[in-house]
Structure 1
């Protein structure tokens, strides 16, 4: 009985392979892939925007301090 239970999921994957061989199945796979790339890209850009904002604030603060004659970089 356990051997049959381990075969059933692999049969389901074989059926999916048939679906992905059709043009609509391939289109769905491409759309899902693009969606994953966009999701990962959104997360990466969210982190990148935070880093750029922090860097701009630090450099702006150093610039303001340099106007008053305070040089922290050397």
Structure 2
């Protein structure tokens, strides 16, 4: 087994192609960022704002669906 140089030092890191570890840390190209870090958020969520992202992820039941618009 090859040791990933991005590992935080625990020896348990499993980092996917997007740089996300199973523990929630994210590789930013230079170092691992903690899960609760502002810079660890996905760019789309940062651009939209957290409230807008939550609304998009959890639409209300009475909101029109994409299939109804076609």
> Structure 1 length as normaliser, TM-score?
0.25
Which structure has the bigger radius of gyration? 1
Question: Where is the strand percentage greater, Structure 1 or Structure 2?
Answer: 2
TM-score normalised by structure 2 residue count: 0.26
